[in-house]
Structure 1
Amino acid sequence: MSQSKISMNKRFRIGRVFGVFSALALALVILVGLIGCSGLNTTEQDIHSLAFNIYQQQTISDVKAHRVFQQMAQEDELIFNSPNEWTPKHILEGSKPTKGILLVHGLGDSPWSFSDLAVALSEQGYLVRTVLLPGHGTSPDDMLDVSAEQWQEVVHQQAKQLEKDVSGKVYLGGFSTGANLILDYAYQHPSIAGLALFSPGFKSSVPFQWITPALSKVKPWLITPDSDVDVQTPVRYMTVPTNGFAQYYRTSVLAQKLLEKPYDKPVLIVATEHDSVIDTPYLLQVFQHNFTNPNSRFIWYGKLPVEASDTSRILVRTDRIDAQRISQFSHMGVLFSPDNPLYGSQGQLRICLNNMNAEERKACENGSPLWFSAWGYHEEGKVHARLTYNPYFSWQNAVMFDVLGG
């Protein structure tokens, strides 16, 4: 082979390598650019309040028009997936409640998440309201193009309205993603008297969450909806588009930024050692260093890590209860009473999709004796469904009332 041909081939190979490198570099630049543009800022725009009854009726109409109804009576599902209000007893006609709380659900969930907590709080004299975050309550497809800014807007709108409708203290409560959204409002509004945070999603334990804002542009579903598995139930989505995870991630980044500064109002955090979704060691660190009020409490279900130093404010209960066939507590179970008609110990709904083992799922669906756990747990010789209730629910409520002051 002539020297000129060798040189030409060498240049061709170098050019091809350079071309591949350039393409990868360009892809990386685009990826970084997309991620860089994915930040969520604390809401500074002027969001006006909206009367709750108007907001409620508008939302109910939207859910009714677009929901993919499941196996239950449509009227029941409509109630489960719509904003609701619980008014305390013994209010004089024409007067306002003396305290109130707004409760915000998590990713893929519905206002029904607070059906047990809301009753308990209203019995303590709170005006209790829930909201439905955009993209929820209808079909998972409706989350393909939703934004965290839309979630922020609803929370700010209804938190402001609640402050108008209550004569005294207003509190905020949130589950998972909802905890991030109420944190945003609370840091901006010192008038908020305290927070109740259930499995707060400040930081995910799932790897590579940071890539979801970019990935959602090219891969709409991380887990493609499967006809063999329910996509949704009467009260929640069982799968969400990549964009749903991306918007959650954006709220978590904002929460971590906010938590660089202390928060001095009373806060209740409830979390489980074996939560499969959130970074619980980070929660413990944040509680001990950033939630400075002496009346704040952290309820920890499981074995307390050695990193826990603020033991006077941390309350521990075991999360393995063999007598009730509970191997460990779950991310979602902390919200519900054992008496809940759908999710309680004798509830109608069982979440059999608790890991990727198809045989265990089928055994659960076919009525095998069950144990209960967080997502992903496996123990030889046992079939596990998701734990969807909290055996310590009444005790947890008593702690919550103490933290919030009544």
Structure 2
Amino acid sequence: MPQHVSENKIGQSLSALVLFVLLTSCHSFDNAQSDASFNASTQPFPTQVAPFDNYKEQVFNYLSANRSFVGTDKSAEISMNMPFECGISVNDKGLFLVHGLGDSPYFFRELAATLCEKGLRVRVMLLPGHGSKPGDMLSVSYEQWQAETDFQLEQFASTVEQLYVGGFSTGANLTTISAFERNDINGMIHFSPAFKSRFFVSKLAPYIDTLYPWPNVEEEDNPSRYNSTAMPGFAAYQESVNALARLFDDNDVKKASLDVPVLMVVAEKDSVVDTQHVAKRFKENFTNDKKCLLWQGEEAPDVFVDNPSMSGQLLMQSMNLPEERISAASHMSSLFSDRNSLYGTQSTFRICDNGQDGELEALCKQGKEGKEDKAGEDVWYGPWGYEDENANRVYARLTYNPYFDVMIDKIVAFTGDESAGNFCTP
């Protein structure tokens, strides 16, 4: 943006943008008001409950009473959205995980099961407002999410000798903020950490959440997450970004950095997160020598270019995989293998709401794995909004990680005794 553009001009542009969004969202808001799924439950979400078995029982009762089911297998849907733990006989080493905005503990099911088989204990919590119905996001707040993350992390910390903490997207923000208040964390493992949004307008969310509760209302067909997210949810996410920025940018050097080993998995073309900003935080604010940025893309982050001091801290994984019809990794793809029953290659579930025009989206829904659709193109996979030189190419969201098994090996090495030079290598 040219430096001579006045603040008044910027303010006018933002006001026009907000007005446009408000005017064009009336239909979605009306639809939301008429659907019980978009109204908040009267029963409060269970928080600050311990021990973990009691917490699970109360969450199960809450979901059973308040979930708006998207399919016929109600038991399976509740199970997918439940907090869980595996490897409970292990007490020497454990990983505590927090999911992202609109998501559920299911996002860690496969990862956790694999890590528990390899000798870790893993526990995953459920953020308030999640797992039941989109309407329950109307009453959430950052403060609530942070307090619950801190509480559940404290409960888990007492069960293991070596504590590892991590999260996906918003969950990475919450657990990183928690880490500033603790001195017992042996390492952090983050997947698509949402330290900064790609969309400047997200900064407005905390100021318009009561005026504009539903920025988008979509058909709910995914048993593992919401397709629609209320503005208070976006506001809570943005407040986590703001809180983290205050910690990272504090003038007190002790607060400006975390001397904790870290492993981050980041999709270069992530449509949600400013990945160059994440890489900058990785370089400047995570100061322990044992760290690795697992970068799924074709070009190294800017902070690594001509920076030999960071040698051995970057592991590149190409996502230009035409043999699998993959063009780039997505925000969510790192957490699932191609064997995943919902998001893997054998699943019939496909996310076609991918930022393309209606005709291409319809072709995506019609397309079958391995067969040509009406446009003469197979369905390809990438992040939301991905575009390439093939203007007629039909895209669905990439929902699995071609390097899932390699990622698991790196996590196991990271939580073991391997030095940075050994676990952050091809």
Which TM-score band applies after superposition, normalised by the shorter structure? 0.7 to 0.9
Does structure 1 retain, via aligned residues, the 8 Å contact 2:172–2:190? yes
Instruction: Please tell me whether residue 273 in structure 1 is matched to residue 268 in structure 2.
Output: yes
What's the C-alpha RMSD, in Å, of the aligned pairs?
Answer: 1.8
Structure 2 counterpart of 1:395, from 406, 409, 416? 406
Does structure 1 retain, via aligned residues, the 8 Å contact 2:259–2:287? yes
Shift of 1:49: 6.8
Structure 1 counterpart of 2:283, from 271, 288, 291? 288
SS in 1 for 2:301: coil
SS in 2 for 1:144: helix
Match of 1:262 in 2: 257
> Separation in 2 of the partners of 1:48 and 1:221?
28
SS in 1 for 2:190: strand
Write the letter of the residue equivalent to 1:305: P
Aligned length: 351
> Separation in 2 of the partners of 1:126 and 1:220?
40
Which has the larger displacement, 294-303 or 103-112? 294-303
Match of 1:11 in 2: none
Instruction: Please tell me whether residue 112 in structure 1 is matched to residue 86 in structure 2.
Output: no
TM-score (normalizing by structure 1): 0.83
Match of 1:372 in 2: 381
SS in 2 for 1:353: coil
Write the letter of the residue equivalent to 2:391: E
Does structure 2 retain, via aligned residues, the 8 Å contact 1:272–1:300? yes
Judging changes above 3 Å, is the alpha-carbon distance between structure 1 residues 142 and 278 closer, same or farther for their aligned structure 2 residues? same
Instruction: Please tell me whether residue 212 in structure 1 is matched to residue 205 in structure 2.
Output: yes
Judging changes above 3 Å, is the alpha-carbon distance between structure 1 residues 190 and 68 closer, same or farther for their aligned structure 2 residues? same
SS in 1 for 2:180: helix
SS in 1 for 2:200: coil
Instruction: Please tell me whether residue 250 in structure 1 is matched to residue 239 in structure 2.
Output: yes
> Separation in 1 of the partners of 2:384 and 2:48?
39
Return the index of the structure with the highest Cα Rg: 1
Structure 1 counterpart of 2:97, from 93, 96, 103? 103
- Residue correspondence of structure 1 range 29-68 to structure 2 within 5 A: 50-68=50-68
Does structure 2 retain, via aligned residues, the 8 Å contact 1:177–1:201? yes
SS in 1 for 2:259: coil
> Separation in 2 of the partners of 1:353 and 1:311?
39
Write the letter of the residue equivalent to 2:311: T
- Residue correspondence of structure 1 range 6-405 to structure 2 within 5 A: 50-87=50-87, 91=89, 97-166=91-160, 168-223=161-216, 225-226=217-218, 230-260=219-249, 261-302=256-297, 303-308=299-304, 309=307, 310-367=310-367, 368=373, 369-378=378-387, 379-405=390-416
CA offsets per residue over residues 197-222 of structure 1, 9 Å max, x none? 10001111112221111111211111
Write the letter of the residue equivalent to 1:392: Y
Shift of 1:381: 2.5
Does structure 1 retain, via aligned residues, the 8 Å contact 2:270–2:331? yes
Shift of 1:307: 3.1
Shift of 1:306: 4.0
Q: Which runs of 5+ in 1 are unaligned?
A: 1-23, 28-46
Write the letter of the residue equivalent to 2:109: S
> Separation in 1 of the partners of 2:349 and 2:224?
10
> Separation in 1 of the partners of 2:104 and 2:58?
16
Does structure 1 retain, via aligned residues, the 8 Å contact 2:276–2:302? no
TM-score (normalizing by structure 2): 0.79
Shift of 1:232: 4.7
Does structure 2 retain, via aligned residues, the 8 Å contact 1:49–1:160? no
> Separation in 2 of the partners of 1:391 and 1:72?
31
> Separation in 1 of the partners of 2:394 and 2:48?
50
Does structure 1 retain, via aligned residues, the 8 Å contact 2:48–2:148? no
Judging changes above 3 Å, is the alpha-carbon distance between structure 1 residues 52 and 394 closer, same or farther for their aligned structure 2 residues? same
Does structure 1 retain, via aligned residues, the 8 Å contact 2:141–2:235? no
CA offsets per residue over residues 221-269 of structure 1, 9 Å max, x none? 112x24xxx2351001112011111110000111122223111111011
Identity of aligned residues (%): 38
Write the letter of the residue equivalent to 1:237: Y
Shift of 1:311: 3.4
Q: Which runs of 5+ in 2 are unaligned?
A: 1-11, 16-46, 250-255, 368-372, 418-426
Shift of 1:291: 1.2
Match of 1:15 in 2: none
